[in-house]
């Protein structure tokens, strides 16, 4: 929310010489997460667990604010991503499982060159450069088959990390009404990952390997744009 407010404050002085566009929608993302998958396998081996969910692709929110000039557009964006893994084992007495939910808040700047095909359609190649703040939680839970027993146990540990990323992308904007457009985009987000931390200490396996949350992967977006016309534009 702070980045959106800052974007509006910076945009206000330029209203008379440019257009301002707000775009919001959802983004389909798949995530590499190779290091976290190795960590999940390590936890599975300790308790002979089987993987149920394996950091699947998700639909996430995305909001952008643009200065729009004749050809070059630039602005700010915010997006939120989440995924996770689950492993478990069950017998006659209890169900034991480990959940690893992961989420990230991503914000930064975006620039693109708008290539207008006709009055309704434009294609804009561009790039996003941003900062990713990640939270990963490891939750282990023992659920007894008999709910009347006192065997229920649950513990959790939270890790954090942050990193920068770049996302080359291509956007297609189709005008639906005078100020409203349908926006789609495709890109690939490359994250320069950093180790997960807990209380200023790196999280490592028994072998000393660092554990990282890598959100790199394909991004497919779909949303709606609303453009505020400047005072000197017909």
Q: Residues 201-220: pLDDT tens digits? A: 888 777 778 899 999 999 99
pLDDT at 15: 47
**In the chain, which residue ranges form alpha helices assigned H by DSSP?**
2-11, 34-47
Distance of CA 126 to CAs 57, 74, 168, 188, Å?
23, 9, 6, 12
Question: Which position has the higher pLDDT, 116 or 11?
Answer: 116
What is the share, in percent, of the chain residues with pLDDT greater than 90?
57
Per DSSP, 196 falls in state -
Q: Which two tokens stand for residue 126?
A: 């561009």
DSSP 14: G
Beta-sheet pairing, 197-198 with 58-68: unpaired
Q: Among all chains, which residue has been given the structure tokens 């709910």? A: 147
Contacts of 42 (CB under 8 A, 6+ apart): 205, 206
The answer to whether residue 6 scores a pLDDT higher than 90 is: no
Residue 8 has pLDDT above 70, yes or no: no
Judge if pTM exceeds 0.85.
no
Cα radius of gyration (the chain): 22
Residues 70-123: tens digit of each pLDDT: 778 999 999 999 999 999 888 777 788 899 999 999 999 999 998 989 989 999
């Amino acid at each position: 929310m702070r980045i959106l407010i800052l974007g509006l404050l910076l945009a206000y002085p330029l209203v008379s010489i440019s257009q301002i566009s707000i775009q919001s929608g959802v983004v389909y993302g798949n995530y590499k997460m190779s290091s976290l998958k190795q960590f999940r396998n390590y936890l599975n081996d300790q308790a002979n667990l089987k993987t149920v969910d394996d950091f699947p692709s998700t639909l996430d929110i995305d909001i952008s604010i643009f200065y729009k000039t004749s050809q070059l557009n630039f602005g700010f964006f915010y997006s939120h991503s989440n995924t996770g893994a689950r492993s478990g084992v069950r017998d006659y007495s209890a169900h034991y499982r480990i959940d690893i939910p992961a989420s990230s808040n991503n914000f930064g700047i975006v620039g693109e060159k708008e290539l207008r095909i006709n009055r309704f359609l434009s294609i804009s190649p561009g790039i996003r450069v941003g900062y990713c703040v990640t939270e990963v939680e490891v939750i282990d839970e023992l659920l007894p088959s008999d709910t009347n027993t006192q065997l229920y146990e649950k513990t959790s540990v939270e890790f954090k990390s942050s990193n920068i990323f770049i996302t080359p992308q291509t956007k297609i904007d189709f005008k639906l009404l005078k100020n409203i457009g349908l926006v789609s985009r495709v890109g690939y987000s490359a994250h320069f990952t950093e180790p997960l931390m807990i209380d200023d200490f790196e999280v490592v396996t028994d072998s000393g390997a660092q554990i990282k949350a890598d959100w790199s992967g394909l991004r497919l977006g779909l949303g709606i744009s609303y453009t505020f016309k400047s005072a000197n534009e017909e």
